[in-house]
Structure 1
Amino acid sequence: MARPYTVASHLHYFNIPLADFTAARPEFESFAVGGYIFARHDPAKPRILLLQRAITDTMGGCWEGPGGASEPESDKTLLDGVVREVLEETGLHVSRIVDLVAVDSWQHLRRNRGDMLRIAKYSFIVDVYEGELPREQIPVRLEASEHQAFEWAVEEEVRRSMQGSGRYQLPLPPTGHQGPNILRSFAWCKEQAAKSTKESL
């Protein structure tokens, strides 16, 4: 069960009824969300949680952050969808929606209808209650039908993977936004660390 969570003040625009949010964007028929999670016990070398898609699923073997489709039947807001997806895919409980990383859009062919489904995805950085624990003790629990492994990745390995020489196979276009968005998340993490250092001086 999801726990109460807070939302950074500059993100409250997203914390409106999902029906209102989607109605304001008629150019899209489907909405997706993502929640990037960092293990922060070593601020000098942050690690981000990546999940490997089940080999039997679409894009099997690829690595990604937690996320999925927004569900109007259960998500009161877009941010509720982030919280739900993180819980379903990792077993972790979001405590705070921290910042927006990226907004991506693409089209997907609906073979049964012969037309294109227009999708928008909103990816956020989130904190989780379990994040207070050392990285090795964070109790990640995967949904076996969707993901088969997880790792706490460092930025250097993600960069190598984007260049084709790293350990992570990242999704290809049109949904190949994972690599750039993961690097944006690391950049955000560095900015926050720099601010904290400056404020402590």
Structure 2
Amino acid sequence: MPPLAFPAVLTPFATPPASYLAANPTVVDLVVSATVIRTSAPGPVPRVLLIQRAATDGFPLLWESPGGGVERNNDATLLHALQRELAEETGLALARVAALLDDKYEWAGGRARKITFLVEVDADQEVVLDPAEHADFVWATEAEVRDGRCDGRVLDFAYPGARELVLEAFGVFRGLAVEA
């Protein structure tokens, strides 16, 4: 895998899964999620990538950001797990991890934790989905996420608080653009 670019504040996530789990002993399972926002396509307005789960998968036909389980024995770091999951789920190559969005979402009595990052990808890449896992994708504007509709599709999210987290990501994205 190519080297990852990320701000120094994300160094705690550039550690092996075993190290992260040792520092968080109540957590047994880790999931990483990549919130991808870009302005290059299909227009100058920032858009977030949302993928729709397959009808035969858990949370059928609901929407989410790309992501999945950290492989304790195969992923060198949590950020490498993020890179792998984004590629597996969308065919997109991670260019940069820009910011941490959330590392507090837990379920199963605190035994499972989802860590969500704002990431950048190169603009010329195309999304490629595995139909066994995902049925569709959209590049939605902030207004479309807020309204729950994009290109005639209803955006019902798979997890509690997911819509709010995506909306928060737009604010973080704007803040990063101002800093640049």
Change (3 A) 1:117 1:25: closer
SS of the equivalent of 1:74 reads: coil
CA contact (8 A) 2:38 2:120 kept: no
SS of the equivalent of 1:19 reads: helix
- Structure-2 separation of matches of 1:29 and 1:17: 14
Give the structure 2 partner of residue 19 of structure 1.
18
- For structure 2, the 5+ residue unaligned runs are none
Q: Which runs of 4+ in 1 moved over 6 A?
A: none
Taking the TM superposition and a 5 Å limit, the aligned residue runs for 1:120-159 are 120-128=113-121, 131-133=122-124, 138-159=125-146
- Structure-2 separation of matches of 1:53 and 1:187: 25
User: What percent identity do the matched residue pairs reach?
Assistant: 32
TM-score with structure 1 setting the length? 0.80
Q: CA deviation at 1:44?
A: 5.6
Matching residue's letter, 2:17: L
Alpha-carbon RMSD: 2.0
Give the structure 2 partner of residue 88 of structure 1.
88
Q: CA deviation at 1:117?
A: 6.9
Matching residue's letter, 2:53: R
SS of the equivalent of 2:169 reads: helix
- Structure-2 separation of matches of 1:78 and 1:192: 22
Taking the TM superposition and a 5 Å limit, the aligned residue runs for 1:102-121 are 102-108=102-108, 118-121=111-114
- Structure-2 separation of matches of 1:106 and 1:15: 20
Matching residue's letter, 1:33: V
CA contact (8 A) 1:53 1:60 kept: yes
- Structure-2 separation of matches of 1:193 and 1:107: 33
- The number of residue pairs the alignment matches comes to 176
TM-score with structure 2 setting the length? 0.89
Q: CA deviation at 1:63?
A: 0.7
Computing the radius of gyration from Cα coordinates, the structure with the larger value is 1
- Structure-1 separation of matches of 2:135 and 2:141: 19
